[in-house]
Amino acid sequence: MLDAAGVRQHAAQLRALLLDAVAHGASVGFVMPLGEAAADAYWSDVANAVEAGHRIVLVGWRDHVLTGTVQLDLCMKPNGLNRAEVQKLLVHSGARRGGVATALMGALEMQALALRRGLLFLDTEAGSSAEALYERLGYTRVGELPEYCATPSGAWRPTAIWYKTLFLRERKGMRAA
């Protein structure tokens, strides 16, 4: 887990990871051409969110090389303290299919449990290989939103919404008004 200083310290490697992901077609909020300045600005915003206490950044290393990252965005609304959004699961193209994403998601779920965030949700490009990963990890697909995101090449694609319940908060004696 990186604190804000860690995000800033490893900004060059995080930038390289993001640039690699987008160059290899990951629909993670950016379109080509993605320049270094835009990638740096993104990671600066992430560092600020970590510093503010509503974002967690986890990274994976192999032989001192950053191979992957994932973020947990904590809902800070009083009625949403039970949930968090999984964001930007990125694995370097040279490290894919090696268990990095599964390890990162396992670590993310442990962090969510430690923070009493029992409901995780995410969106990913419908039809992407990421959907098989989330299904294998026990996430439930809710549905799709049409033309929600553009691929790095600019094609509009639907996004699939997924969630996973780590635990339920049952409150006995409480009734809906």
- Read off the pTM: 0.91
Helix, strand or coil for residue 123?
Answer: strand
Q: What is the reported pLDDT for 109?
A: 97
Mean pLDDT of 77-100: 93
Closest C-alpha among 24, 98, 37, 112 to residue 70: 112
Mean pLDDT of 68-74: 98
Helix, strand or coil for residue 152?
Answer: coil
Pair 150, 156: CB distance under 8 Å: yes
Q: How far is CA 100 from the centre of its chain?
A: 13
Q: What is the reported pLDDT for 3?
A: 98
Q: What's the Cα-to-Cα distance from 171 to each of 10, 76, 175, rounded to whole Å?
A: 43, 21, 9
